[in-house]
């Protein structure tokens, strides 16, 4: 069964410290669903073409279905409610190859 991935790019973060509450709650929600962070805050980014040299987060789940369920979970919805104003991200759930 193919794995599932959350891929997030953050083109605008006016005040990264204001993400602390979200990060804490999101981390718990991801861990509860067996997610593993593969790339995150502080990782180096070399952007090409239309790429944005900003924060990128990649989280792996054991299946695409589990990744979708984690995004829809009550605990992750609680985390989303803590995202601050002035915050922008490109978030996707993608299926891995076989």
Q: What is the pLDDT of residues 41-57, one digit of tens each?
A: 777 888 899 887 888 89
CATH code of the domain covering residue 88: 3.30.70.100
Domain boundaries, position 31:
4-95
Q: Residue 83 burial (CB < 10 Å; 0-12/13-18/19+)?
A: middle
- Indicate whether this model's pTM tops 0.75: yes
Q: What is the pLDDT of residues 19-34, one digit of tens each?
A: 889 999 999 999 999 9
* Four-residue CA torsion sign, 17, 20, 21, 22: positive
Residue 40 has pLDDT above 90, yes or no: no
Q: What's the total number of domains in the chain?
A: 1
């Amino acid at each position: 069964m193919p794995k599932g991935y959350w891929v997030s790019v953050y083109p605008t973060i006016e005040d990264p410290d204001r993400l602390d509450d979200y990060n804490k709650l999101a981390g718990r929600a991801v861990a509860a669903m067996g997610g593993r962070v593969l790339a995150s805050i502080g990782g180096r980014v070399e952007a090409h073409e239309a790429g944005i040299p900003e924060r990128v987060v990649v989280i792996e789940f054991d299946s695409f279905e589990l990744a979708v369920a984690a995004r829809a979970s009550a605990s992750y919805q609680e985390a989303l409610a803590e995202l601050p104003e002035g915050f922008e991200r490109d978030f996707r759930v993608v299926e891995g190859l076989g």
